[in-house]
Amino acid sequence: MSAPHTPRPRIAVVGAAAAGLAAAEGLRRLGWDGDIALIGDEPRPPYDRPPLSKHVLSGAWEPERTALRDTGQLAALGLDLRLGTRAVAYDPERRELTLGDDGRTALRCAGVIVATGVAPRTLPGGDALEGVHVLRTLDDALALRRRLATPGRRLAVVGGGVLGAEAAAVARALGHRVTLLGTEEAVMGRVLGPEVGRLLAGVHRAHGVTLRAGQAVTGIRGEAGRATGAVLADGTVVEADDVLLAVGSVPAVDWLRGPGAEAAGLDLTDGLRCDEFCAAAPGLYGAGDVARWYHPVLGRHVRIEHRMNASEQGLAAARNLLSELDPERFGERRPFTPVPYFWSDQYDLKLQAHGVLAGADRTEVRLLGGDPLRLAALYGTAERATGVLAIGLPPRLTRSLRALIATPGPWAETLTRLTAAVDA
């Protein structure tokens, strides 16, 4: 009689974008020889999202170029790859993951890494209208690109954050009439602050974008099933052939809300709350846009929707999960303490930010040129610097600015060093 089959231990990674792929690759590279289920709700293999609002939307890249790995590279990982599959529930006590809308597939896991990202916010009236867009997936980008292939369209972009600003820049470069709608006079003001945000708004105006600020967009107007404009709070309609909703996003955590979540102490307020090791509960880790984790250096919980953070945190979550499962083999867990980084391309400008800019109590801007815009800015609190921004600066100077914020230091001292760097 043959011995009973003992299933191999399994780690499930929920989310097949940058963070999830980095976690799966990290598990293999670090020595996990059990099963790895990589679960993604899109039918496509893992692809990169930042190019969607730039290279893909403009037509410079075809979809295939966004692939993060080719077929052979994915096959070499030996994954149980489940694409086009949604996770619908998780039982933290049993470590059981439920898949599929019918809830019939259950996976028992040694551990789970949550990398489900975020979902775009929408506005009333837009769901059933042709010409209303969000920009989260490759299909979203291709749908808007097809619309922009017709010359002379009117595009209303709702939201002046990084996504809205990038899409507005692309559409304007393609020759379309673009109106950027937001409640603030600044572009990307919530991240960059009002002073830099107003300077960036000036760049968009100089390129022919119409900025309408000061009123919220309350809905979408349509006729005969097609969008005809965006409705402002005072009832004014900004006429448009297409409307892009770039009004922010919400962490994709609803599938974790279940009977066992409260018992396990899961906090799903603004993402999956994790400790400094990216752990939300025993055997449950978060990575990427969905994770709100405690950053020991910053001394608070943060949730960062940046591409580099997704890859770095996916690897960190994989390492710490393995350390929890087998500390003798994989060593002690390590706090995840990155220097956050993001970039944005708008027209011929490159914006690069290191550290944390949003929520700064004070900002110091060194304007080095107005046409084209060139500046360095320091962000922080009364006590210490927390972030630095470079716009239109050469790589060497940008790297030197990053060094200022690798370890947050006293405000006055860091400002002196920034001044010396830009004056050199």
Look at residue 261 in the predicted model and tell me its pLDDT.
82
- Per-residue pLDDT tens digits for 25-75: 999 999 999 999 999 999 999 999 999 999 999 999 999 999 999 999 999
Cα–Cα distance, 226 to 290 (Å, whole number): 33
- Per-residue pLDDT tens digits for 121-169: 998 878 889 999 999 999 999 999 999 999 999 999 999 999 999 999 9
The two tokens of residue 21 are 């792929």
Q: How do 217-223 and 177-182 pair as beta strands?
A: unpaired
pLDDT at 86 > cutoff 90: yes
Dump strand ranges (E) for 70-121. Answer: 80-83, 87-91, 96-99, 105-108, 111-114, 118-120
Look at residue 83 in the predicted model and tell me its pLDDT.
96
DSSP string, 364-408: EEEEEEETTEEEEEEEE-SSBEEEEEEES--HHHHHHHHHHHSS-
| Terminal-to-terminal C-alpha distance of the chain | 79
Q: How many residues does the chain have?
A: 424
Contact 385, 212 (CB under 8 A): no
The two tokens of residue 369 are 């040129």
Q: Which residue has the tokens 């020991």?
A: 296
Radius of gyration (C-alpha) of the chain in whole angstroms: 23
pLDDT at 4 > cutoff 60: no
Q: How does residue 19 score in pLDDT terms, banded at 50, 70 and 90?
A: very high
Cα–Cα distance, 349 to 244 (Å, whole number): 22
Look at residue 1 in the predicted model and tell me its pLDDT.
44
Q: Compute the C-alpha angle 144/148/153, nearest 5°.
A: 120
Residue 36, helix vs strand vs coil: strand
Q: How do 349-355 and 385-391 pair as beta strands?
A: antiparallel
Cα–Cα distance, 358 to 414 (Å, whole number): 18
Residue 421, helix vs strand vs coil: helix
Cα–Cα distance, 228 to 232 (Å, whole number): 13
DSSP string, 47-76: B-SGGGGTHHHHTSS-GGGGBSS-HHHHHH
Domains of the chain: 10-119+250-330 (3.50.50.60), 122-247 (3.50.50.60), 348-423 (3.30.390.30)
Percentage of the chain with pLDDT > 70? 98
Nearest CA to 313 among 331, 299, 332, 295?
Answer: 295
| Cβ count within 10 A of residue 4 | 5
State the chain's mean pLDDT as an integer: 94
- Per-residue pLDDT tens digits for 265-310: 899 999 999 999 999 999 999 999 999 999 998 889 999 999 999 9
Residue 339, helix vs strand vs coil: coil
Look at residue 6 in the predicted model and tell me its pLDDT.
56
Look at residue 283 in the predicted model and tell me its pLDDT.
97
Measure CA 330 to chain center.
29
pLDDT at 3 > cutoff 80: no
Nearest CA to 408 among 341, 336, 354?
Answer: 354
